[in-house]
Structure 1
Amino acid sequence: MQDSLKQWWDRPHRDILSGLVVAFAMIPEAIAFSGIAGVDPRVGLFGAFLLSVTLAVVGGRTAMITSATGSTALLMTGLVQQGNGLGEGMGLQYLLAAGLLTGVLQIAWGYLRLAHQMRFVPQPVMAGFVNALAILIFLAQLPQLGLDVFHPEKVVVAAAQLPAVWGLMALTLAIIYLLPRLTTAVPSALVAIMISTGLSIQLGLEVPTVASLGTLPEGLPQLGLPQVAFNLETLGLILPTALAISLVGLMETFLTQDILDDITDSSSHKNAEARGQGIGNIVSSLFGGMAGCALVGQSVMNVGYGGRTRLSTLTSGVALLAMILLASQWVNQIPMATLVGVMIMIAINTANWGSISGIRRIPKSDTAVMLLTVVVTVLTHNLAVGLLAGVALAGLLFSRKVAKVIAVDSALVAPDHRVYTVRGQLFFVSSIYFRQGFELHEHPARVTIDMADAHIWDQSGVTALDQVIRRLKLGGSAVEVLHLNRESTDLFARIGVAEEAGGRGGALAAGH
């Protein structure tokens, strides 16, 4: 009971203050992420509010901020466009349905202990993941800057508006990066938004604003199911997006957890967090909000301002909704160019610059994995596909490295007796090097294969040893395998090769 209370009420004044500061920083991002996904700002704002409040209660990591994010928003764009092609407003409905399915999948991943499997994702893949995310967030801003030469139909800025748009963006970035040199009492992004918005209003600049994206919420979110047909056709449409969001969202969440654990010198429950993320996404989707995941920047900001308990997360969500409902007229006038500046800052902060600056020191194989992850992700605009490609290449390169950890030494101990001593691990990638260690065209009367320092791991290893035995016996040699450990002998027995080989003269002899 005391531990539960401490998770909520340890230092309330600091938690409330940090939650308020984070809420200010969440508003522009939630709106910008809504634009990336192609839905009204209220969808991202409702998602930010609902996810923060829900995860404050059921999350596995205190003081972590969960909201609509760039990584999940990027995965929604295709589904929203496809849904809108099926009917006006259907993009949002399919998006909400995908959010429900995302939540169900994440709850399942939590009970299946997916967090334990995430430990096997190599660091180069993680670096490629965040670098690709940074690139995609940046590319998503190009239409607002009139620069999307690959998709000119997406450009939403008139030529006459470009000087003002670029000026506001430059002003926003200048304030964001220069203000912290003077003071860190308030978030520089918030100051940049206030100054650039005020300047735009005073000068009467005709530039796209938040109101251009759609209407902000005027009341509390309403409970309701997505207006889609719950059938196999709908499932086939939303499953790829839901699966991608569930995996990519959890990866970013687990990464954020690790960062906060290091900063606070504490530990958290990743599988419990996975289940909490699932519940949060279900709640958000039922009330008309976007699915999301943990926010790295805002979570670090929250902890940096003193947030340590669930109260800080709850405060950020409640304060965000309160500000939106009370200051919607002002929020509607925020120039999109200002939000573009904020998103570019997020992209810059998201990138793993160490993986780029240290590229000469990093092994070439790791660099290849990182670059493949980035290239595949950017080309497909799918973080999940890029992740899988990176993991596959990392596995392949690792297999090539460990394939040569097996060695076969040969010694002629008598004119008619050759002994092969095998050391290392025998499995599918090392089997070819294992076979190359034997003189299969030489057939002394007696051949001994000493496996005391070797271990067989899979069917390929069993087959490789059996093929060597067969070839030597076909040449007339009497073959004996010595000191095969119990696990390897059992593997032979299960597959059925040991009995067959043993029937041709008792070739296998278990050792220690």
Structure 2
Amino acid sequence: MKLSGTIDFQPKLLSALRHYSLNRFKDDLIAGIVVGIVALPLAIAFGIASGVSPTIGLITAIIGGFLVSAFGGNSVQIGGPTGAFIVIVYSIIQNFGLQGLAIATLMAGLILILLGLFHLGTVIKFIPYPIVVGFTSGIALTIFSTQINDFLGLGLKDVPSEFLSKWGVFISNFDKISWPTLAVGAISLLIIILTPKISKKLPGSLIAIIIVTAAVYLLKGTFPEFAVETIGDRFGSLPTDIPQPRGFELSMGTINQLLPSAFTIAVLCAIESLLSATVADGVTGSRTNSNTELIGQGIANIVVPFFGGIPVTGAIARTMTNITNGGRTPVAGIIHTVVLLLIFLFLMPLINLVPMSCLAAVLIIVSYNMSGWRTVVGIFKAPKSDVSVLVVTFLLTVIFDLTIAIEIGLLLAIILFLRRVTENTQIKVYSEQLDVAEGTDATHHEVLDVEKGVSVYEIDGPFFFGVATKFDEMMRSTLGDKPVVRILRMRKVPFIDATAVHNLEILIKSSQNEGIHIVLSGVNPQVRQVLLKSGIDSLVGEDHICDHITKAVKMANRIAGSYNALHHHSAH
């Protein structure tokens, strides 16, 4: 983990503009307009579901989306608020207020920039798939739960945020269902589901909002008793000017309190944006610069909170819409933010008329698409360890909260990784004869005779804390006849860590106390460096650290030979 001299920051916008043409602009313009229209209902819905106003959702999409396209490492990534953040944002606002959310988002932005600077973009991609699926399906179920109140028109205030108690409240209030509201929600759902069957390019959620809003507006005019709650009813008339940047107070106490939430936002943002970028690369054949992407996401999340915005990340659905409509450069992403800005400045009064149950229908479809239930079913055929990781992260996300789920999920990922590496590191024991080329592709086989009293232990794989203990146990269990020399063959050890060095030190000392020589063989330059730094050479003698097994066996045979001869002589 090093800055390694170079900062890997090359926004795709700069390289795209070098060879930009009018034809390319036409494609980007069409894609940008379509994505802007698709993003509109989502930005409003995500804003409301996160516990802020629709205006904030739009401002986040405009400013955050612009910065992600301008500074990101993927040509087609569309940034904005996404469903993944609804749960965490809602709980931060509940516990720390809007000021707390702004500070957490700002800190998350700084963490993302650090991840990019330390070249950790590629590492994030290695988070095990079952964990990502566990998070997203857990978040999907939580989003679905948050929409039941609006979809059924229960009119409940102060619904508990915990999953189980929330459903308890819903079930006990099902008699309060508002049938007009449920009808509006159900019709919206139908329109969203059926639109793609007519044309894949039509944005179902926007068409549902236009048709249903117009119908509700007309019905309200004709039948005053037709009561369906709209955005305007809940939020009053929405402001139509971009808010002034504002600061916030930082104190060490606030930072400590909000650090876990900031870490959760940063990890979620990194996972989701790089996942989206990987999917986009698969379709377009381009290559994302992961570190630049993280820095771009970081910049967006640092700026957005100053305008009251919520966290921003790459959005898979909007990115795919961009690709299918011909967008190939970050210019399309910038055009999508301009479209949203124009709607924000000139059409905001119309947004007041949108029924809340229609937005709930939009989010129910988002949660269905997020759930990835087919993937979940597929993973259930995988090894038990993967299934258990998926189930644990899913349950933690749903029943507790995302911060705990992400922390324990990452911990599980590390434990599973260590277990797999430990299982893959083999330790073999040889005596009497040893084939030098065994375990390699060499066709020339040289067999070495090993003197009586020489034991050879081969470690095949990384020698780190997980393996060190395993090796220790093996040495104790294979004592049998006490050898004169132990050769530790390390040709297949790519690295060694502090715990392994410590265990090696104990093994050398305890062997020497029993009068057993230790010879290290096949030590690669990198491992040798670590051994020399930690003083292993002065323990065994530098000539006992050999770079090839032939030298090690020759030395061991000489020591064992003279020992055997001496004992043979004294026996007579």
Q: TM-score range by the shorter chain?
A: 0.7 to 0.9
For residue 160 of structure 1, report the CA deviation from its aligned partner. 4.2
CA distance in 1 between counterparts of 2:346 and 2:177 reads: 30
Q: 1:464 aligns with which of 500, 503, 506?
A: 503
Partner of 2:472: 435
CA distance in 1 between counterparts of 2:496 and 2:428 reads: 17
Q: Does 1:318 align with 2:355?
A: no
Match for 1:431: what amino acid?
A
1:83-232 correspondence runs (5 A): 83=96, 91-144=97-150, 145=152, 146=154, 150-151=165-166, 159-204=175-220, 205-215=226-236, 217-226=238-247, 228-232=248-252
CA distance in 1 between counterparts of 2:515 and 2:416 reads: 39
Q: 1:406 aligns with which of 423, 426, 429?
A: 426
1:258-269 correspondence runs (5 A): 258-269=278-289
Q: Does 1:390 align with 2:406?
A: no
Q: 1:19 aligns with which of 32, 39, 45?
A: 32
Partner of 1:422: 458
Identity %: 25
CA distance in 1 between counterparts of 2:35 and 2:242 reads: 21
Change beyond 3 A, Cα 1:356–1:225: same
Alpha carbons 1:180, 1:188 under 8 Å: kept: yes
Q: For residue 286 of structure 1, give the secondary structure of its aligned residue in structure 2.
A: helix
CA distance in 2 between counterparts of 1:36 and 1:427 reads: 46
Alpha carbons 2:125, 2:275 under 8 Å: kept: no
Q: 1:43 aligns with which of 42, 56, 80?
A: 56
For residue 507 of structure 1, report the CA deviation from its aligned partner. 9.1
Match for 1:33: what amino acid?
F
Q: 1:289 aligns with which of 309, 333, 340?
A: 309
CA distance in 2 between counterparts of 1:459 and 1:132 reads: 38
Between stretches 36-45 and 93-102, larger displacement belongs to: 93-102
Partner of 2:555: none
Partner of 1:79: 92
For residue 332 of structure 1, report the CA deviation from its aligned partner. 1.3
CA distance in 1 between counterparts of 2:68 and 2:521 reads: 58
Match for 2:243: what amino acid?
Q
CA distance in 2 between counterparts of 1:256 and 1:423 reads: 40
CA distance in 2 between counterparts of 1:302 and 1:216 reads: 31
For residue 320 of structure 1, report the CA deviation from its aligned partner. 1.8
1:467-478 correspondence runs (5 A): 467-478=506-517
For residue 297 of structure 1, report the CA deviation from its aligned partner. 0.7
Alpha carbons 1:23, 1:317 under 8 Å: kept: yes
Partner of 1:88: none
Q: 1:499 aligns with which of 535, 538, 541?
A: 538
CA distance in 2 between counterparts of 1:63 and 1:325 reads: 26
Provide Cα deviations, 1:460-480, integer angstroms capped at 9, x if missing partner.
323333444444444444554
Between stretches 387-396 and 471-480, larger displacement belongs to: 471-480
CA distance in 2 between counterparts of 1:486 and 1:149 reads: 57
Partner of 1:86: none
Match for 1:219: what amino acid?
T
Provide Cα deviations, 1:438-460, integer angstroms capped at 9, x if missing partner.
35654536233241545261233
Change beyond 3 A, Cα 1:368–1:445: closer
Partner of 2:545: 509
CA distance in 2 between counterparts of 1:428 and 1:33 reads: 45
Change beyond 3 A, Cα 1:97–1:454: closer
Provide Cα deviations, 1:264-310, integer angstroms capped at 9, x if missing partner.
11123222222222322333222332231111111111211122233
For residue 75 of structure 1, report the CA deviation from its aligned partner. 1.7
Provide Cα deviations, 1:350-382, integer angstroms capped at 9, x if missing partner.
233343232343222222222222222223322
Question: TM-score, normalised to structure 1's length?
Answer: 0.87
Change beyond 3 A, Cα 1:346–1:395: same
Provide Cα deviations, 1:246-278, integer angstroms capped at 9, x if missing partner.
231122111111111111111232222222223
Change beyond 3 A, Cα 1:153–1:95: farther
Change beyond 3 A, Cα 1:335–1:246: same
Partner of 1:87: none
For residue 213 of structure 1, report the CA deviation from its aligned partner. 4.0
For residue 385 of structure 1, report the CA deviation from its aligned partner. 3.8
**Structure 1: stretches of 5+ with no match in the other structure:** 84-90
Alpha carbons 1:8, 1:310 under 8 Å: kept: no
CA distance in 2 between counterparts of 1:129 and 1:41 reads: 25
Cα-Cα RMSD: 3.1
CA distance in 1 between counterparts of 2:104 and 2:22 reads: 35
Change beyond 3 A, Cα 1:237–1:450: closer
Q: For residue 465 of structure 2, give the secondary structure of its aligned residue in structure 1.
A: coil
Partner of 1:332: 352
Q: Is the radius of gyration larger for structure 1 or structure 2?
A: 2
Partner of 1:365: 385
Provide Cα deviations, 1:183-235, integer angstroms capped at 9, x if missing partner.
23421111212222233333333233212442464332132223x43332333
Partner of 1:62: 75
CA distance in 2 between counterparts of 1:271 and 1:235 reads: 25
Q: For residue 178 of structure 2, give the secondary structure of its aligned residue in structure 1.
A: helix
1:449-460 correspondence runs (5 A): 449-451=487-489, 453-455=491-493, 457-460=496-499
- Number of positions where the alignment pairs a residue of Structure 1 with one of Structure 2: 500
Match for 1:437: what amino acid?
M
Q: For residue 431 of structure 2, give the secondary structure of its aligned residue in structure 1.
A: strand
Provide Cα deviations, 1:81-129, integer angstroms capped at 9, x if missing partner.
234xxxxxxx233333433333333333322223132133222222223
Alpha carbons 1:440, 1:471 under 8 Å: kept: no
Q: 2:371 aligns with which of 348, 351, 359?
A: 351
Change beyond 3 A, Cα 1:508–1:165: farther
Change beyond 3 A, Cα 1:349–1:8: farther
